[in-house]
Amino acid sequence: MAIPLIPLAQYKISKLICGTNSFLGFSHFSYAKDSFLKRYFTVERIAEVMKACLEKGINAFVGPADQKLADARKMVEDETGQRMIWVSTTYGHKEKEKQAEEIKWLAKQKAEICLIHASYTDSHLISGENKIEGIEDLLALIREGGMVPGLSTHRPDTLPSAEAGGYDVECYILPLNVIGFLCAIETNWQAEIIRRTPKPVIIIKPLAAGRVMPYEALSYVLANTKPNDPIAIGFMSREEVEEDAGIVEMLLTGKGEMKLLYSPSKSLVEGEK
C-alpha cells in the first residue's frame, strides 16, 4: 500500500508529507544540533531525502520561503522528472510588507500552496472578534500569485476564529503531539479543535522535535485527527523516510508488527529466546 493521497483544494497530497526544519537547521533542541544541521544539509542531501520521499509515495513538503528548498526541489525534478508539491509558508516576520515580499517570491518559485507564518497570524489575531488584522490583503496576494491560501498558527483559537471570520483560507498548520510540545492548550482540546475544523489541518511537530518515538507519535496523531489532515515529519535520512512511511502504512492498514529497538542492555529484560 502506498501512502494515501488526500485532497487539498485542487491538489492531492500524500497523508504523510516531508517537514523541513531539519534541512534548515531548526532543531528545537540545541544550538549544537542547529549548527550541525545547517552544515550537514546541503542542497544535494536535501534532494536525496526528497527523492526517498517520492519513492515511498510522499509527494509534498512543507517549508518556508527559502532558496535552499527551491534549489533542492528543482534538483529533484531535474533528476526524477517528478515535481514535489510545495506547501510553503512565509518566514516569521511581523511586518506586513515583508510577508508580501515573500508571498511574491514564493509565487515566482511556483509554490502550489502558501500559508501565512504563525508569527504574523498569531500576533495579529483578535480572537474575541474573529479577526486577524491585515490578513485579507495577504490572502488575496496569495490568490493573485496562483497559490492556495492558508494560515499557519500555534494558537488553536485561530482555527475557529478564521472560520467564523469567513477568510479565504483553504487549510491550516497547527502543532499536535502526545506530550503537548509547542501546543498552547491540553492536547485533547487541541485535537478536538482540529477535528471540528472541516478543512485540512497540516499537523506539525508530531514527534515533538524528536522527543517522542515514531510509532507512539504517529499512533496518537492518526487516532486523534481527521482523515484529510496531512502529517508533516522532518526526515533526517532515507532510512527515516522508509521507517516512518512503513509505520503510517501499518497503522492505516492494521497489518504488520513494529519491531522493538535493540541495544546490549535489552539482554537484561528480553528473557530466554
The pLDDT tens digits of the residues spanning 14-70 come to 999 999 999 999 999 999 999 999 999 999 999 999 999 999 999 999 999 999 999
Across the range 89-103, mean pLDDT stands at: 94
Q: What is the pLDDT of residue 256?
A: 87
The pLDDT value recorded for residue 265 is 79
Confidence band for 1, pLDDT divided at 50, 70 and 90: low
Ordered by start, the domain boundaries in the chain are 5-268
pLDDT digits 0-9 by tens, 54-87: 999 999 999 999 999 999 999 999 999 999 999 9
pTM for the predicted model, two decimal places: 0.95
Q: Average per-residue pLDDT in the chain?
A: 95
Cβ burial of 186 (10 Å; 0-12, 13-18, 19+) is exposed
DSSP 234-253: E--SHHHHHHHHHHHHHHHH
pLDDT at 115 over 90: yes
- Output the pLDDT for position 8: 97
CA distances for 31 relative to 26, 37, 38, 208, angstroms: 9, 10, 11, 17
Query: For 156-180, b where at least 16 C-beta lie within 10 A, e where not — what string?
Result: bbbbebbbebebebbbbbbbbbbeb
Reported confidence tier of residue 209, pLDDT bands at 50, 70, 90: very high
Q: State yes or no: pLDDT of 245 exceeds 80.
A: yes
Q: How confident is the model at residue 92 (pLDDT cuts 50, 70, 90)?
A: confident
What is the widest separation between alpha-carbon atoms in the chain?
Answer: 67
Provide the pLDDT for residue 12: 97
The pLDDT score that the predictor gives to residue 272 is 57
Q: Rounded to an integer, what distance in angstroms lies between the CA atom of residue 51 and that of residue 48?
A: 5
Tell me the pLDDT band of 268, cut-offs 50, 70 and 90: confident
State the average pLDDT over residues 199-209: 98
Q: What is the CA angle 110-118-12, rounded to 5? A: 40
Residue pair 159/153 in contact (Cβ under 8 Å)? The answer is yes
Q: What is the pLDDT of residue 267?
A: 75
Give residue 273's pLDDT. Answer: 53
272 backbone dihedrals φ, ψ, rounded to 5°: -75, 140
CA distances from residue 255 to 168, 206, 216 in whole angstroms, order as listed: 40, 22, 16
Q: Which pLDDT does position 2 carry in this prediction?
A: 74
Predicted confidence band of residue 111 (pLDDT cuts 50, 70, 90):
very high
Confidence class for position 252, pLDDT limits 50, 70, 90: very high
Selection from 20, 22, 16 nearest residue 3 by Cα: 16
Q: For residue 184, is pLDDT > 70?
A: yes
CA 107 from chain center: how many Å? 19
CATH classification (class only), 5-268: alpha beta
Extract the C-alpha cell encoding 37.
544541521
Mean pLDDT of 162-175: 97
Q: Tell me what the mean pLDDT of segment 140-157 comes to.
A: 98
Burial label, 235 (beta-carbon count in 10 A; 0-12, 13-18, 19+): buried
Q: Which distant-in-sequence residues (6+ apart) come within 8 Å of 21 by Cβ?
A: 27, 28, 209, 234
Between vectors from CA 24 to CA 50 and to CA 230, what angle results, nearest 5°? 55
